[in-house]
């Protein structure tokens, strides 16, 4: 199988070009780079800069104040190794070696200073682009969600900015191969703006044809993962790829830090889907009954991803 990750122009998809290639990509890998989205590296820089400044220079009191106390949503600051994707995917108990800031449409907790203004602008830019990507996926697969396309994409998005600092030696690839465990996204689509590791190491990888393939940052291009909701709303026409974040070898640790702005376009909490179809598509779902809502599915993951002292 060809493991090359294709690149599409959003402007050309909007014009109806490359539909067969795009349809094949959605069905086979659910993963692609996107250019001409109107979202540039400069859009990310100001949001990245204020977040990194807060991570590195915010006081403990400021970080506590910017940490949400609501366990069923992701908002505000999350400290280094405070979460474990491995726990919710039954891949182990190791932590996510990252720290994070999260924002949605409501219930946000902002650090002091200019943070709220900068992030509100960036969130809006990311939301617009991600909604348009979802429209193109629905158009190409001939999918009309219940209530219509516009109602479906006017939803409950989430932006998570992750900072992956250089790992200590006990988290190098020789000791613990991953910074974050393999998983698929519980989203319609996920749009990612990432910065490269200064030393050239590629940390983000996705499974294509049974092997994990490097996904390097590309200038002024975003990376798109289709999520499990895309699979379910299109009746199985779209693949939700598994991906993980790899750790560097000991001799690659220096210069291996990176950041990733990850925008999840998630459906409204009352979005209903077929539990048998979810299982048929290979999703790990423990819910009972024939149908379930997105709220039923997501809340358990949100609570369980928090790393406990026992883990």
> Which one of 23, 64, 74, 160 is the catalytic residue?
74
Residue 198: count of CB within 10 angstroms of its CB: 12
Q: Which two tokens stand for residue 155?
A: 């939803």
> Please, what's the b/e burial string for 244-281 (b: 16 or more CB within 10 A of its CB; e: otherwise)?
bbbbbeeebbeebbbbbbbbbbbbeeebebebeebeeb
Of 204, 207, 183, nearest to 195 by C-alpha is 204
Is there a catalytic annotation at residue 160?
Answer: no
- Name the residues annotated as catalytic: 74
């Amino acid at each position: 199988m060809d493991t090359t990750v294709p690149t599409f122009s959003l402007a050309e998809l909007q014009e109806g070009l490359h539909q067969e290639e795009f349809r094949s990509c959605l069905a086979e890998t659910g993963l692609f780079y996107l250019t001409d989205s109107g979202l540039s590296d400069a859009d990310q820089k100001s949001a990245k800069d204020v977040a990194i400044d807060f991570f590195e220079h915010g006081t403990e009191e400021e970080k506590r104040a910017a940490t949400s106390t609501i366990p069923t949503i992701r908002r505000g600051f999350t400290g280094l190794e405070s979460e474990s994707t491995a726990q919710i995917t039954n891949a182990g108990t190791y932590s996510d070696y990252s720290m994070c800031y999260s924002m949605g449409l409501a219930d946000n907790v902002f650090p002091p200073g200019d943070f709220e203004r900068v992030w509100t602008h960036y969130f809006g830019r990311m939301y617009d682009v991600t909604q348009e990507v979802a429209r193109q996926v629905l158009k190409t697969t001939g999918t009309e969600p219940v209530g219509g396309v516009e109602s479906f994409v006017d939803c409950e998005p989430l932006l998570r900015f992750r900072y992956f600092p250089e790992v200590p030696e006990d988290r190098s690839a020789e000791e613990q191969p991953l910074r974050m465990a393999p998983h698929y996204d519980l989203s319609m689509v996920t749009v990612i703006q990432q910065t490269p590791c200064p030393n050239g190491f590629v940390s983000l990888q996705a499974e294509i044809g049974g092997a994990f393939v490097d996904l390097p940052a590309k200038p002024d291009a975003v990376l798109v993962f289709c999520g499990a909701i895309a699979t379910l709303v299109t009746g199985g026409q779209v693949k939700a790829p598994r991906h993980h974040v790899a750790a560097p070898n000991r001799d690659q640790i220096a210069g291996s830090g990176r950041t990733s702005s990850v925008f999840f376009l998630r459906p409204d909490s009352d979005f209903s889907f077929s539990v048998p179809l979810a299982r048929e598509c290979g999703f790990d779902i423990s819910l009972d009954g024939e149908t379930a809502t997105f709220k039923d599915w997501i809340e358990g993951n949100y609570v369980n991803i928090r790393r406990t002292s026992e883990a």
